[in-house]
Amino acid sequence: MMVRAVWIIRNEHDRYGAVLHCLRGVIRDIERGQAELDFALLHSILNYVDTFLDKYHHPKEDEFLFKTLRQRHAAAGAVLDSLEQDHKRGDRALTTLRKSLVAYEHGGAEAFDQFRAAALSFSDFQSSHAMKEESQILPLAEAYLTDEDWTTIDAAFSDHDDPLFGDKATAEFAKLHAKIVEMAPVPYGFRGVQSTVLRLSGITKRFGALVANDAIDLEIKSGEVLALLGENGAGKTTLMNILFGHYVADAGTIEVFGAPLAPGSPHAAIAAGLGMVHQHFTLADNLTVLDNVILGTKPLWAPWQNLSEARQNLLAVSRSSGLAVEPDRLVRELSVGERQRVEILKALYRGAKILILDEPTAVLTPLETDQLFDTIRELVDDAMSVIFISHKLKEVMKISDRVMVLRQGRVVADQRTASTTREELAHLMVGREIPKPKHVRMDVAESVLEFAGVDITDGEGRKVLDGASLVVRRHEILGVAGVSGNGQHQLFQVIAGLAQPSNGTLEVLGERIKDATPHMLIERGVARIPEDRNSTGLIVDMTIWENLISERYRAPSFQLAGFVRRKEALDYSNRIIKEFDVRCPSAMAVTRLLSGGNLQKLILGRTLSHEPSLIIANQPTRGLDVGAVSFVHEQLLAARERGAGVLLISEDLDELLELSDRLVVMYGGRVSEPIGRNRANVRHIGLMMAGHFGEAEHAI
């Protein structure tokens, strides 16, 4: 009975949320010139809102839910008082909205902005209030109310008399109901009009003895944002590859918009309305935006491409989605955020109605992430469904309606985002508490790296490093912040011995290094953790043990007279696998079979097992789950405590602020003066990342 009553209460929120969604959609269409002004419809929306709140929802909440909870649990009084005040504030906001609609109707277009602001403010307030009720009151009610209480509440919260959705729906609201169904809204997972657009049933996939997906069921509604969580190797990527036709499931079925999806066919998936944006972009840098978008939409042997029509179609998709692009710009001229916009447009251009976003914020700045979330909300308003795959729990809580957690190939949780917390999700992902790394204050010692006045010029004569200078000392982590593409890659390349500067000096452990090579630097105690695990960190088609000795295979411990000492290499590899908890079949396994987190553990084991004096870590936690991130942080802090100096290059500001003793910011190939840990803050660093070094000083 309790479960049914809670469902009914939430369903009331959903029905009401659908109407608010419709209001926002009508306003959006008016702004875009895609709909005729219909004041009768707008008045109908507000009449229903008034009826729903005044005659149905609030009286039932106040009389049956709130009053009963006050009797059963006195400590709930403060929360209930706050919610009842919200009811009154909502009434006042609705009165303001009604007045602004009348002013708009009689005052003309110039009064639209006032009406729009009032409508969006009212909608946002009511949405926030509903989430507040569900996250604060329903858990208390579930804990303290009796079965008899729930029986009474269940009877009270009947929706049969609802004039819009109930059995006694009136003709007055028929047009509004039709409009809601047309817009297919899904705030709070609205069950009354929301249709299931994707259903996976019993999906199972095995790779030898490994069960990657174990009888997984997944559904998503129209206009819903479903976050898919799980630690590296939990089965998320396998499941999405099955959905998109890259793999064929051993068991189970997939339905898209009620029709079965042919297995193993990306073409069939795209035709059915699925679109996928991968973490690593699949764009051709030397082609224009338009060329990239239409690539693959026509046969290569077609006698001509109607570029004029394609450009108009792309611009139409751009306008309707709010994703502004310049069709004739070369992709190599675009920022990371702009490239992601192109990837999303590629999917929309092909008619995607269900969008899969794989780690979409991994390479974005905080500003670009906010812009992406605005885009997702716009798409959801147009009934797009989104599967959001991420390890960043703060972002999952911000953007998703519902969250599903996989662990070891199985679904361990499927719940509304408003009813959970970041801490609970982290525990569900890894099955244990995640320890927070402890940054212990230490006295720094001599420098292990001095980088002075270094210049590097690219093939077009532009300086990608411009007089860059920095110092890293023992027992410290020096963080390097910056928007991608401001010289961080070249900084890593020089220190790793992969690029030679045209000017400047490089000193490692007090020794000036000229014409540095990777082997030379490794021999001097420099450990390298590259940003791309797959292409530059490891040779994924080689075995695990071969990768683990790849930087030191010429050492006497691993070779004799030019032949690899296989037993010693395997013993060493098995020790690293155990110490760094690399989850793999054996040291003989092919490296590409490992998940991203285990690939990173492999690199950490290879580099840190020899206790290096200098560690260059470039994006060491990109794309990793919370458990793997915690492990990487622990290893870097432990190396710092042992006496190593760490240069941490990262686009994750939270990571930098948590781990660094000092920070520098890169912009336009230049390196800022270092900032002490106790003086750094997000606003300060953010301004410097945008090149406003002077303004940043006032933000400390």
What's the sign of the alpha-carbon dihedral 509, 619, 323, 283? positive
| Residues forming CATH 3.40.50.300 domain(s) in the chain | 196-430, 445-525+612-700
Higher-scoring residue by pLDDT: 423, 179: 423
pLDDT at residue 192 greater than cutoff 60? no
Rounded Cα distance between 26 and 595, Å, is 45
Mean pLDDT of 671-691: 81
The residue with greater pLDDT, 166 or 538, is 538
At a CB cut-off of 8 Å and minimum separation 6, what does 168 contact? 160, 161, 162
Q: Which of 353, 328, 355 is nearest to 340 (CA)?
A: 355
Q: How far apart are CA 342 and CA 293, in angstroms?
A: 7
Burial, 132: exposed, middle or buried (Cβ in 10 Å; 0-12, 13-18, 19+)? middle
Q: How many Å apart are CA 325 and CA 295, to the nearest integer? A: 17
DSSP H or E stretch at residue 213: strand 210-221
Classified by CATH at the fold level, domain 445-525+612-700 comes out as Rossmann fold (3.40.50)
pLDDT, greater one: 117 or 181: 117
Q: Is the confidence at residue 17, as pLDDT, over 80? A: no
Domain with CATH 1.20.120.520 in the chain: 2-183
Give the pLDDT confidence score for residue 4 in this predicted structure: 47
Q: Is the pLDDT of residue 189 over 80?
A: no
Name the token pair of 2.
């309790």
Q: Which residue has 């959970």 as its token pair? A: 420
- In whole angstroms, give the CA distance from residue 54 to residue 568: 78
The candidate with the shortest Cα–Cα distance to 615, out of 516, 508, 694, is: 508
Asked whether the predicted pLDDT for residue 456 surpasses 50, the reply is: yes
Contact (Cβ atoms closer than 8 angstroms) between residue 496 and residue 465: no
Q: For residue range 215-255, list pLDDT tens digits in order.
A: 999 999 888 899 999 887 788 888 999 999 989 999 999 99
Beta bridge partners of 618: 649
Q: Where are the alpha helices (DSSP H) in 609-690?
A: 626-642, 653-659, 682-689
Q: How many other CB atoms sit within 10 Å of the CB of residue 80?
A: 20
Helices (H), 302-421: 307-321, 336-349, 366-381, 393-399
Calpha distance 289→335 (Å, rounded) = 12
Side chain identity, residue 312: Q
**pLDDT of 226:** 94
**What pTM was estimated for this model as a whole?**
0.62
* Alpha-carbon span 395 to 361, nearest angstrom: 9
Domain spanning 2-183: which superfamily? nmb1532 protein domain like (1.20.120.520)
* Least confident segment among 62-66, 230-234, 455-459: 62-66
Q: What is the pLDDT of residues 599-613, one digit of tens each?
A: 888 998 898 888 899
Q: What is the pLDDT of residues 279-332, one digit of tens each?
A: 767 888 888 988 888 887 776 555 566 778 888 888 888 877 777 788 888 888
Instruction: Using DSSP, state whether 652 is helix, strand or coil.
Output: coil
| Beta bridge partners of residue 507, listed in sequence order | 450, 512
Give the whole-angstrom CA distance, residue 588 versus residue 350. Answer: 42
Amino acid at position 520, single letter: M
* pLDDT-derived band at 158, boundaries 50, 70, 90: low
Band of pLDDT at residue 461, cut at 50, 70 and 90: confident
The domain over range 196-430 is classified in CATH as 3.40.50.300: yes
Instruction: Round the average pLDDT of the chain to a whole number and report it.
Output: 82
